[in-house]
A = this chain, B = another copy of it.
Amino acid sequence: MPPAVNLKSLAQALNLSIATVSRALQDSHEVSPQTKERVRALAAELNYQPNAYASSLRRNLSKTIGVVIPEVNNHFFSLAINGIEEVARQHDFHVIIYLTHDDYAREVAIAQYLTGGRIDGLLMSVASGSQDFAHLHKLQENKLPIVFFDRVCEEVSTAKVTTNDYESGFRATQHLLEAGCRHVAHLLVSGNLSIGRSRMQGYAAALQAHGLPYDEDLVLSGGNDQERNATLIKELLERRPEIDGIFASVEHLAIGSYHACQRLGRSIPEQVKIIGFSNLEIAALLNPALTTITQPAYDIGREAAVILLRAVTRKKSVLPAQSLMLESELFARASTAR
């Protein structure tokens, strides 16, 4: 679909060489102001738009970054995208999005494809099923700069941006314990995700700090099937009626807990207190039934994009393996929704 207007046609119309037109449009200092003006005028009039592919091919730079995430229908990721998009726009970069649906095979296929030089850098949150990381190492061998955010891959050495997951887990659990809970269940996110492990460790540490035993039976590992999660939560609450607190690692599980308690007639927060990772809107709706830990999703996206774009514009393909951790916020009373 190439517009008929390109450098060649402009050059012909203006009786100039293609090179001069190209330079004029790039505001090169080695072209006379008058010529620049003539070129610009005609380009604007004819609505000239450079062919991005030709330019990318030539400069070996596409001004595009890729974002690989499990889902977009998720508050955290959609907010993160907003942050990413904001930074990208400021740098005049484009954002191309790929969804893995938490499917390892898709992630591999996408990674394989990205080898093709379509993007200059990659932001990624790994799929929960991922165990083998050869596909990610291949990307690195291809000199593609990568920044992981939220669901990081610890096995790959590069920059990472996360929430303070360990501390969040600790604080969340502590919050329940200080509110008087003695039998706190933990609903874990599926797979063996880095974030799940850290939050769980925080949970265990908080229990220990309060002299309570860690009971494996109180820890439930959820999946992507919400129906099944609901059943599992219900069964857990029935099996262990002494449960008086639930710490949910992700929003879906927090909502699932809420529904399960309602169905079982457990009053919230009197009989069971729930705390979970969630966004402010949900928090406001479930207030006071749900205490919320909110991740700075927008900022995580922003920071990750900033780090990536700094590397890309400096043509650094290998990023230092440093970890940036942003603070989450705990809202016991989510009075305002944004």
Contact = CB atoms under 8 A, between A and B. Distances in A.
B120 A99 contact: no
A56 interface: yes
Contacts of A338: 226
A49 B116 contact: yes
Stoichiometry, copies per complex: 2
Contacts of A74: 78
Contacts of A98: 94-95
A8 interface: no
A57 B60 contact: no
B99 A96 contact: no
Contacts of A118: 52-53, 94
Interface string A71-97: 111110011011001000000001111
A286 B255 CA distance: 12
Contact of A50 (B3, B116, B258): B116
28 contacts: A1-B60, A1-B143, A1-B144, A1-B317, A2-B60, A3-B142, A47-B112, A47-B138, A49-B113, A49-B115, A51-B117, A52-B118, A53-B53, A53-B54, A53-B56, A53-B57, A54-B57, A64-B96, A72-B78, A72-B85, A94-B96, A95-B97, A96-B96, A96-B97, A226-B337, A282-B285, A285-B285, A285-B286
